[in-house]
Amino acid sequence: MVRMEHLAWLAEHPATTKRFSMYIGERCRSATISDVAKEFGLDWKTVKEMDKEYMRVQLAAAPAPEPKVVGIDEVSVRKGHNYRIVVSDLEKQIPIWFGGKDRSEESLNEFYDMLGPEKCKEIRLAVMDMWKAFEKSTMTKAPEAAILYDKFHIMRHLGEAIDTVRKNEYARLSGDKRDFIKGQKYNLLSKKENLELPAKRALKLLLSKNKRLYTAYLLKESFEQLWNYKYEGTARTFFDKWKSSLKWQRLKPFEDFAELIERHWEGLASYCKEENHVSLGFVEGLNNKIRVLQRRAYGLKDQEYLRLKVLTCMLPKLENLPT
């Protein structure tokens, strides 16, 4: 009878030691699998499995999640509206869950079920975009949590409104009048202080030549003031005046945006409370990091590998490597 003896110092793949496997995993934090495989003369699949083992050890060493403020967003994993949900602890600024089959209520319920009812009660704030499924799941599973809509998603909707106005103006005009609009999309979407001098001059010329885009740009810039209010009453007064200023302007995309804000006002009003002033940029930054991971790997088809990469991308490297 052939028997296999288990040796504690061997990795999951008996051809290598744990120490070497951990070292390879650490190298994969800053280099691609292909580069590491070429450097050490290893097979691509072997390096990938070593990287997986390293990340599993990382997760095992990390404390169990006990979030008080969570950020919820979806990530596209491949074409065809194929999504996964990523949940982050916004106070510790780390992703704590990546999964689901889509961006449905049932998929987000999986996160809350993993967390358990006791820890769900401790969540005081949930930051998300204006997606009804996320809101319904949170209200059912974590009823103590206040809902706060992500500022970046809201401003994205406003950016889409001004870009629609730009496109409509380009279609309406002809000849030389179009030249002022061409190539101005990102100048209109960006904050003025972030533009270089040539872009500022081009934007100034455009706004002086097109009254409708000038009005849309002023509305877009002034809406930013909403995030400065500390009391819901004053924030509401500002929004009512901003909405009233749309009258007679014939800017349908902005009217649609105002109606969107009206329907989701409670999720914006939460931002006025000082205790809800959390780092809202982390979710967007994490999404960008995930997109970099996907590009670097030319699209990660192994969903478990992608899950491990996302959950460990903000964790520190292992100090005491297994021997």
The pLDDT value recorded for residue 9 is 55
Model confidence, pTM: 0.81
- Nearest CA to 59 out of 89, 94, 100 is that of 94
Q: Which CATH code fits 69-149+277-312? A: 3.30.420.10
Q: What is the mean pLDDT of the segment spanning 52-77?
A: 91
Q: What is the pLDDT of residues 166-220, one digit of tens each?
A: 999 999 888 888 888 888 899 999 888 888 898 899 889 889 989 999 999 999 9
Q: What pLDDT shows up at residue 118?
A: 95
What is the arithmetic mean of pLDDT over 115-123?
94
Q: What's phi and psi for 3, nearest 5 deg?
A: -120, 145
Rounded to the nearest angstrom, the gap between the alpha carbon of residue 79 and the centroid of all alpha carbons in its chain is 18
Q: What does the block give as tokens for 163? A: 């870009």
Lowest mean pLDDT among 15-24, 155-164, 181-190: 15-24
Average pLDDT over residues 288-299: 72
Burial of 255 (0-12, 13-18, 19+ CB in 10 A): middle
CA dihedral (247, 251, 255, 261) positive or negative: negative
E-assigned strand segments in 66-156: 69-78, 82-89, 94-99, 125-128, 146-149
For residue 204, the Cα-to-chain-centroid distance in whole angstroms is: 32
Residue 182 CB contacts under 8 Å (≥ 6 apart), including other chains: 170
Phi, psi (degrees; rounded to nearest 5) at 86: -120, 130
Contact 252, 219 (CB under 8 A): no
- Residue 12 pLDDT class (50, 70, 90 cuts): low
114 or 12, greater pLDDT:
114
What is the CA 118 to chain-centroid distance, rounded? 27
φ, ψ for residue 7 (rounded to 5)? -115, 125
Cα 173 to the center of its chain, rounded Å: 37
| 130, 224, 259 from 240: Cα distances, Å | 20, 14, 11
Order of strands, edge to edge, in the sheet holding 82-89? 94-99, 82-89, 69-78, 125-128, 146-149
Closest CA to 243 of 256, 229, 230: 256
Cα angle 87, 25, 14 (rounded to 5 degrees) comes to 120
Q: Is 79 exposed, middle or buried (0-12, 13-18, 19+ CB in 10 A)?
A: exposed
| CB of 300 closer than 8 Å to CB of 52 | no
On the question of pLDDT at 264 being above 70, the answer is yes
Structure tokens at 40: 């050490």
